[in-house]
Amino acid sequence: MNPVIPPLDPAPLPAPVWLFYLLLVVTFLLHVLAMNLLLGGGLIAAIAGSRGRANVPHQRRLAEEIARALPTVMAATITLGVAPLLFIQVLYGRFFYVSSILLAVPWICVIGLLMVAYAGHYFMASSPTVRRERFLWVAWGAALLVAAVGFVYVNNLTLMQAPARFRAMYIAERSGLRLNLAEPTLIPRYLHMLVGALAVSGLGTIVLGRRFLAGEDRPFGLWMVRMGRNWFTSATLVQILVGIWFLFSQPSDIRNALLGGDPIRAALLFGGIFLALAAVFLITVRPDSLKVVIGAAGSLVLAVASMILVRQWIQDHWVRGLSGLDRAAVHVQWDVLALFVLCFAGAIGTIAWMVRRYVLEGKVPEELAAMRGGSAPRR
Amino acid sequence: MEYPFWEVPLLGGGMVIALISIAHVFVSHFAVGGGLFLALTERKAQREGNRELYAYMKGHARFFVLLTLVFGAVSGVGIWFAIALAHPQGTSLLIHNFVWGWAIEWCFFAIEIAAALVYYYGWERLSPKTHLTVGWIYFAAAYMSLVVINGILSFMLTPGKWLQSGNFWDGVVNPSYLPSLLLRTGVALSLTGLYALLTASMIRHDGARGRQVQYASKWTLAGFAIMPPAGLWFLLTVPPGARSIAFGGAPAVTIFLALSLAISLFILVFTWLTAYRRPARFTPALAALFLVVGFAVTATSEWVREAMRKPYIVYGTMYSNGVRPGDVAAISKEGYLPRLRWAEVEDVKQPRAGEEIFRFQCGSCHTIDGYNAIRPLIQGWRESFISAQVHHLDELKGFMPPFAGTDEERQALAHYLAGFWGYPAESAAMQKPEASR
């Protein structure tokens, strides 16, 4: 039986498919990088917090340093997530809306979970007098909530590409009280994301730790860089096993294509794996060199990018033929598109200017700080 | 019709959208007006070299950032989630026409979030000039996001020339665009005042508290000065059908409109009497009460605005149930059930046909026993009477769309509904309602 999917929207697409595709992939890459730091960073902070309670030196401080960054990382994750959410609706709304409705209750709960986790991050980043002993509980709570959000996302995005199951699932349960647990790739895909997040956050920990290498905090900085390296390398090595599981959970046609049947996709997959291993090699050799860290980070970003292209190809493989995008009418209003490009460039410029000022303007004069009612700067 | 219908017992999907949207509107208008408050008040503090005001601003900014980022930004995404679940067809229509509008708004949203964070973390780091500039950038970006989103929101009620041209700008800069923007600006200022009353009322020092409370009250009063003319202008630009719903066509909407005006007047009078006239005696409890009342007026006003658009989700283009006006004639001839991709039944002769028609065609506004429940609405109605009502639905009730379906389908719907009150089946062809559940 043919899968039941909604028809193409009668309105034409307001830009060529390739442009939406490009924007989807680029903004999704940025979102994934921020999300990885959020999910992995939250987990590393919670684990470090637990070990800190057992009086392992530096662990508690590591948890606090990461915690201070989490509100900003959450803001970036959400902001960067809105754009791919827009573009996926334009391209694949007919699948995405249906899968969202099938999982409606867990899907809408994502909003509440994020809000609580976000508030938790601000609490974790607040002063020690405010948070006291509750830090650890909140750290674990927020980390697990973010992990739960990721699980719901994986459920929706796997279901979205299985339209053959849509109708039967809907007829059986219409309130959206379910998950896509029958999906064979669900668990390996989720673990793949989780372990990847820990790896990226390991590298993030190195970057964060490098700020302490100068001055009296150097022992802590060195320790933090080493800790980040351990997280990064061990998670990447575990990822090899998880990745193999994920690959072999795929249907045979996709698996065969990725193992060489489709040279371009196979090159993307193995290129990505190579880049990730190259980053591990670089970090293992010289974790304390700035150039090496930048090189490793660049290599890792490229690895994530190639994985996202593979992921997008798999998604397309399932829905492209059914999506009818190839025959969708396109009507471009170039002036609106040009305005978007202008605003996009303006946004990057404005944000860059603000961040630059923030980095450059270190400390305000003490009398002004006093007038503003502030304490001495912490950073 | 083309998408599965998300069944939400008691509330209905529309109410889920309403709950998230109202809460979001209550905070997001503060996010806009509050940006101007931050910039102007910090400038005042700098010019006067006023330590007291600086100390207050720092606390207020913390409250502002926590509320607008944690609740405001996330609930905004929540609206996306909710509308796609409850109205996928309408969402698809909007996204296909205005994706670049949202993409442009996203650019301003990104600046807004970044500026809020730099402002928040920059108190002890940035020079006064830079800090203030970041405050202004925040406000400009927040207001621009309102400028863009207001275009899409007002489009849904007054699509104007877009109906003929399909042009993006005709849709965004529509007949009710400017009055709606002005009205929302007034709401943003007055809500900013209400939130600032809360933070100001918590200042410990009596003199400083009095000064800040009075300063905050001026924001609320300024907002209220803008709202009446903007509201009148708005009402003049909406379609006559929408106006008549507000003024008697649908009594519940008229009552809510009156309630919204009455509560607004209450806030205006009491802000003037308490916060403006006797600021020193203003307490946090009173401020919290004002916020609760402010929430009530936001909820009623937004509800009225949404209700005025009935029976459409986009005026003249798509009814609330996802049916397009241009398709009604064809559906009435060829049938509704054959077009339903997600119903259990395909033929009107099947037992649950009426139930499925109700679910997909009526369920976006009516629940059975919860919000806007159908059961009490048809109490005492026999099947033939229900069928006659449904036959002339749009003529009898201007806020409802016409029934889209064949005579047999209408009969099946009437049969299903009559079963709620246990009336014996009048049409022999139908099975008993008990058997159909």
Give B-chain residues touching A178 at CB under 8 angstroms: none
Token couple for B155? 């489009």
pLDDT, one tens digit per residue, over A161-171 is 999 999 999 99
Whether residue B436 has pLDDT greater than 60: no
In this prediction, residue B429 carries a pLDDT of 46
One-letter identity of residue A310 = V
Rounded to an integer, what distance in angstroms lies between the CA atom of residue B337 and that of residue B359? Answer: 11
What does the pLDDT look like over B380-427, one tens digit per residue?
899 999 999 999 999 998 899 999 999 999 999 999 999 988 766 665
**Which candidate, B374, B419, B366, places its Cα nearest to that of B8?**
B366
Q: Are B103 and A341 in contact (CB under 8 A)?
A: no
Does B431 score more than 70 pLDDT? Answer: no
Judging contacts by C-beta atoms under 8 Å, the chain A residues touching residue B370 are none
Which B positions 51-70 lie with beta carbon below 8 A of chain A? 51, 54-55, 58, 66, 69-70
Q: What is the pLDDT of residue B304?
A: 95
What is the per-residue pLDDT for A366? 59
Q: Does B232 touch chain A (CB under 8 A)?
A: no
Question: CA B113, CA B125: separation in Å to the nearest integer?
Answer: 18
Closest in B7, B91, B127 to A361, CB measured: B127
Distance from CA of A125 to the nearest CA of B (A): 12
User: Does the pLDDT of residue B335 top 80, yes or no?
Assistant: yes
Q: How many CB atoms lie within 10 A of CB A338?
A: 11
Tell me B71's DSSP state. Answer: I
Instruction: Return the pLDDT at A110.
Output: 98
* B341-379 pLDDT per residue, tens: 899 998 899 989 999 999 999 999 999 999 999 999 999
d(C-alpha B398, C-alpha B388), whole Å: 16
**pLDDT single digits (tens) B258-290:** 999 999 999 999 999 999 999 999 999 999 999
Instruction: Note the pLDDT of residue A372.
Output: 58
Q: Which two tokens stand for residue B124?
A: 């002890």
Going from the C-alpha of A225 to that of each of A44, A68, A201, A286, the distances in angstroms are: 13, 17, 12, 10
3 state SS of B318 = strand
Alpha-carbon distance B38 to B46, whole Å? 12
pLDDT band per the 50, 70, 90 thresholds, residue B43: very high
Maximum alpha-carbon separation in chain A = 76
Q: Say if CB B6 and CB B13 are below 8 A apart.
A: yes
Whether B2 contacts chain A with CB within 8 A: yes
Type of residue found at B281: R
Residue B206: the pLDDT is 87
Residue A350 one-letter amino acid: T
- Confidence grade of residue B48 (pLDDT, cut at 50, 70, 90): very high
Q: Are A88 and A98 in contact (CB under 8 A)?
A: no
Nearest-Cα distance to chain A for B368, in Å, is 15
pLDDT at A325: 84
Residue B414 burial (CB count, 10 A):
28
Q: Which parts of chain A sit beneath pLDDT 50?
A: 374-379
Which helix (H) or strand (E) element contains residue B276?
A: none
Tokens in use for B219? 């924001």
Closest to B114 (Cβ–Cβ): which among A167, A351, A370?
A351
What DSSP character marks residue A326? G
The pLDDT value given to residue B419: 92
Using CB atoms, pick whichever of B88, B91, B96 lies closest to residue A14: B96
Planar angle of CA A287, A288, A290, nearest 5 degrees: 100
pLDDT per residue as tens digits for the range B215-240? 999 999 999 999 999 999 999 999 99
Percentage of chain B surpassing pLDDT 70? 97
- pLDDT of residue B110 exceeding 90, the answer is yes
Which pLDDT tens digit goes with each residue over A209-228? 999 998 899 999 999 999 99
Is A364 within 8 Å of B115 when comparing Cβ atoms? no
What is the complex's ipTM, to 2 decimals?
0.93
